[in-house]
Amino acid sequence: MTTQLAHWTRKDLLSLRELSADEIKFVLETTDAFKQVGTREIKKVPALRGKTLVNFFVEPSTRTRTSFELAAFRLSADVINISATTSSLTKGETLKDTARNLEALQADIIVLRHSSAGAPQFLASRLKASMINAGDGAHEHPTQGLLDLYTIRERKGKIGGLHVVIIGDILFSRVARSNIFGLLKLGARVTLVGPSTLVPREFEKLGVEVSHKIDNVLPNADVVNLLRIQHERQRREYFPGLGEYIRLFGLTKQRAKLLKSDCLIMHPGPINRGVEIDSEVADGLQSVILEQVTNGLAVRMAVLYLCGGIAP
Amino acid sequence: MEFTPRGEELFAASCREVQAGSLCSPHMSATIIRNGRVIDPANKRDEIADVFIVEGRIADQSAIGNRQSAIDEVDATGLIVAPGLVDMHVHLREPGFSHKETIESGARAAAAGGFTTVVCMPNTSPVPDNPSTIAWIKDRAAAIACVNVLPTGAISKNLAGEELAPIGSLAQAGVVAITDDGHCVQNHEVMRRAVEYARMVGVPLLDHCQDYNLVGNGVVHEGYWSTLLGLPGWPAAGEEAIVMRNVLLAELCDHHIHCQHVSTVGSVRLIREARARGIKISGEICPHHIALTDDAIQNFDTNYKVNPPLRSQNDVEGILEGIADGTLSILCSDHAPHADFEKEVEFDRAPFGIVGLETELGLFINLLVHQHRKIDIARLIAMYTLEPARLLRIDAGTLSVGARADVTLIDPELDWTVKVDQFQSASRNSPFDGWELKGRAVRTMVGGKTVWKL
């Protein structure tokens, strides 16, 4: 799996849908080098020295924000964190005006997390700074998609030909969409599993399979990626309750026995132990959940390095 | 001295009469529009002829024959001479939102689009759920609007869908219809009583068909693109459920309900079937619902955000069939101006709406007559004149002798390019900037007076 791409040309990373297979491979190969940095005594390189990165998180996040922050530190960038509550958005300033002010302060890279789909694309077309999408509504979470691809590739040696099963709340999941686009571009077979209200058949038009019978799908999966059930933000009518969800779709200890012994178990976090996944399964030998977190740091270093190095 | 205000009022009232009658000019005036193709669907007329105007009214040749004073002549060779077009669905934003549009700027936009009469929607602040707000709108329009502005009143108090507005008083104040446009009465019982009550006072209902539970926080058509982009979906069934409700209530109450901005093939089917059974229901079409499909939203450009949303190709084809077979009988714009700063935000936070007055005629001629060949230009003119005039029972939409001389001259073959920065409207939120169209109005006359000319 080597890329034919000679060099990176994008200043923004907005989605995996817009990337070519070669561009995705290019990021993954660049990630190899940065992952190696993390094993050194001094885990820091000067790639973005003198650059200013703003972590602009309009929607709360711990893991992604920390990962981007650490990635930027390791690239020697200067980092500022802004959250919704500390920004002037609470005073009625528009997103565009806030971002233009950040740019006026000579921010080179803006990492945006936002509850509205398309918010990073909206700003990218209006700003000179590099725009990195750290998750926009239910649209995409491209660095999560990339770190999932990286983790699969690292463990399996390939992505093409693998059967990846994504389980849970697909409709509201930006992680699912980035995974779907990235996996399909790299030649994987993708099956989505979950209640029909959260995994509508419309997804089949994207080129994936849809199933509502988890027990039929698990035995032939090479990777299962479990999404968090976002029960706190869902309208009640999507499913009758967590108990029923667990009964129909939870990766229980019992169900995990259906998996092939080398099937990887992934989860973007945060985990609801005992809901989408049993605690023991999450901590079991097949689980690569913490490796995903480690790889996320390297992937984000690669993305910041690639996009941050492009002249506007 | 105490009588001065009243005196001014009388003066203003007499000015209104003059303006509505004969172009605010004290002396006798006459105009001949020569040699155009006169299309007057109300009189089943389509022929090359001259049109005579005397003192702001359509006249016959004899009325002009023995006149001594100067006669204006307008050469309409190669042009269509149509009754002044009516757009029965516009938002003029006044009172309350004059940063988006005013009655004055909206009327100018109407004139530039070929419209001599516009019907304005009640989602203003204050809401015209009372006769005095209606009176304010009428006075304001009489004072500053260059076209006829006909107000609608609210169905429910404050458009809240709970208590009936004083529909009888609104009718007396001169509304041409009642509607909660922008909102939709969800409680079927409230709607049923509104229909019954409106029947008594003789005004039709115009309904923005949207089931709030089914639509939820939807911002784009529920389908392929909403799935792909992760934007909240607005399902077709959210419109069709209310269209069905309206069919049932129109039948139950034997009174007219007009479904605004029909956007789905399912709505077309429901209206077609109901009309075949003689039920008093109708539907209107906006150009964006046939010019565009939901794939236009893929770059999150809020100029494509409109309610109801841009639909699928299948819906577009269903609407085109509905226009061709007469199921959908009225064309309109749903002219919905918004300021740049309001649209320059995240997609799901932006207001819904497209400005349409200055592009709708060109788009419809282009799409319906030239491109898809679904109807001819005479039917298109009927859908902008005879049909809305009949539904609203307004004095407009005909070139009958004695009618107010509202006339639109149309060049159906003229090639032109949409340029939003040249709009008369105070707002620019159009997805059609740069579109190359064939066909547009070239002169707009209200009461015999030219209010706009290309």
pLDDT classification of A232: cutoffs 50, 70, 90: low
CA dist., res. B380 & res. B385, Å (int): 9
pLDDT classification of A234: cutoffs 50, 70, 90: low
**Strand, coil or helix: B44:** coil
More confident residue, B383 or A102: B383
Asked if the Cβ–Cβ distance from B230 to A114 is below 8 Å, we say: no
pLDDT per position in chain B (454 positions), as tens?
333 333 334 334 333 443 443 344 445 689 999 999 999 999 999 999 999 999 999 999 888 776 667 889 999 999 999 999 999 999 999 999 999 999 999 999 999 999 999 999 999 999 999 999 999 999 999 999 999 999 999 999 999 999 999 999 999 999 999 999 999 999 999 999 999 999 999 999 999 999 999 999 999 999 999 999 999 999 999 999 999 999 999 999 999 999 999 999 999 999 999 999 999 999 999 999 999 999 999 999 999 999 999 999 999 999 999 999 999 999 999 999 999 999 999 999 999 999 999 999 999 999 999 999 999 999 999 999 999 999 999 999 999 999 999 999 999 999 999 999 999 999 999 999 999 999 999 999 999 999 999 9
CA dist., res. A19 & res. A14, Å (int): 9
What's at A255, amino acid-wise?
R
Query: B346: which chain A residues are within 8 Å (Cβ-Cβ)?
Result: 95, 114, 116, 118-119, 122
Give helix A63-74 / helix A142-156 axis angle, nearest 10°.
80
Of the partner residues B228, B232, B346, the one whose CB lies closest to the CB of residue A119: B346
Q: Could you identify the residue written with the tokens 């105070």?
A: B426
Closest CA to B149 of B112, B120, B113: B120
Asked if the Cβ–Cβ distance from B229 to A122 is below 8 Å, we say: no
**Strand, coil or helix: B181:** coil
**Strand, coil or helix: B448:** coil
What are the backbone angles phi and psi of residue B237, rounded to the nearest 5°?
-60, -25
Give helix B131-144 / helix B4-22 axis angle, nearest 10°.
60
Asked if the Cβ–Cβ distance from B347 to A118 is below 8 Å, we say: yes
Asked if the Cβ–Cβ distance from B231 to A94 is below 8 Å, we say: no
| Chain segment A258-309, per-residue pLDDT in tens | 999 999 999 999 999 999 999 999 999 999 999 999 999 999 999 999 999 7
- pLDDT for the residue numbered A236: 66
Of the partner residues B230, B231, B346, the one whose CB lies closest to the CB of residue A114: B346
Q: What distance in Å separates residue B351's CA from the closest CA in chain A?
A: 14
Q: Which residue of A has its CA nearest to B346?
A: A119
Residue B353, Cα to own-chain centre: how many angstroms? 14
Long-range (24+ apart) CB contacts under 8 A made by A196-200 are A197/A171, A197/A237, A197/A238, A197/A239, A198/A168, A198/A169, A198/A170, A198/A171, A198/A172, A198/A238, A198/A239, A199/A170, A199/A171, A200/A171, A200/B227
- Residue A210, strand partner residues: A192
Residue B439, Cα to own-chain centre: how many angstroms? 19
Question: What residues of chain A have any CB closer than 8 angstroms to a CB in chain B?
Answer: 17, 94-96, 114, 116-119, 121-122, 136-140, 171-172, 174, 177, 200, 202-203, 205-206, 235
Rg for chain B, CA atoms, rounded: 21
CA dist., res. B168 & res. B171, Å (int): 5
- pLDDT for the residue numbered A219: 98
Residue B334 bears catalytic tag: yes
| Chain segment A206-227, per-residue pLDDT in tens | 999 999 999 999 999 999 999 9
Asked if the Cβ–Cβ distance from A205 to B216 is below 8 Å, we say: no
Predicted ipTM?
0.93
Please classify residue A70 by burial: count the beta carbons closer than 10 Å to its beta carbon, then call 0-12 exposed, 13-18 middle and 19+ buried: middle
Query: B231: which chain A residues are within 8 Å (Cβ-Cβ)?
Result: 117-118, 137-139
Q: Which of B40, B129, B294, B334 is an active site residue? A: B334
What are the backbone angles phi and psi of residue B90, rounded to the nearest 5°?
-135, 155
Of the partner residues B216, B223, B341, the one whose CB lies closest to the CB of residue A202: B223
Asked if the Cβ–Cβ distance from A116 to B348 is below 8 Å, we say: yes
CA dist., res. A297 & res. B65, Å (int): 89
CA dist., res. B148 & res. B207, Å (int): 22
- pLDDT for the residue numbered B63: 83
Answer whether A95's CB lies under 8 Å from B345's CB: yes
Taking residues A11-33, what's their average pLDDT?
A: 97
Q: Which residue of A has its CA nearest to B229?
A: A139
**Strand, coil or helix: B338:** coil
Asked if the Cβ–Cβ distance from B229 to A118 is below 8 Å, we say: yes
CA dist., res. B389 & res. B86, Å (int): 8
Token pair of B173, please? Answer: 């104040």
Asked if the Cβ–Cβ distance from A202 to B224 is below 8 Å, we say: yes
Q: Is the pLDDT at A196 greater than 80, yes or no?
A: yes
Query: B298: which chain A residues are within 8 Å (Cβ-Cβ)?
Result: none
Q: Is the pLDDT at A8 greater than 80, yes or no?
A: yes
- pLDDT for the residue numbered A62: 86
Q: Could you identify the residue written with the tokens 């799935």?
A: B227
- pLDDT for the residue numbered B258: 98
| Chain segment A104-148, per-residue pLDDT in tens | 999 999 999 999 999 999 999 999 999 999 999 999 999 999 999
Query: B347: which chain A residues are within 8 Å (Cβ-Cβ)?
Result: 116-119, 122
What's at B281, amino acid-wise?
I
Taking residues A52-77, what's their average pLDDT?
A: 94
Tell me what the pLDDT averaged over chain A comes to: 93
- pLDDT for the residue numbered B57: 96
Asked if the Cβ–Cβ distance from A205 to B224 is below 8 Å, we say: yes
Q: What distance in Å separates residue B218's CA from the closest CA in chain A?
A: 12
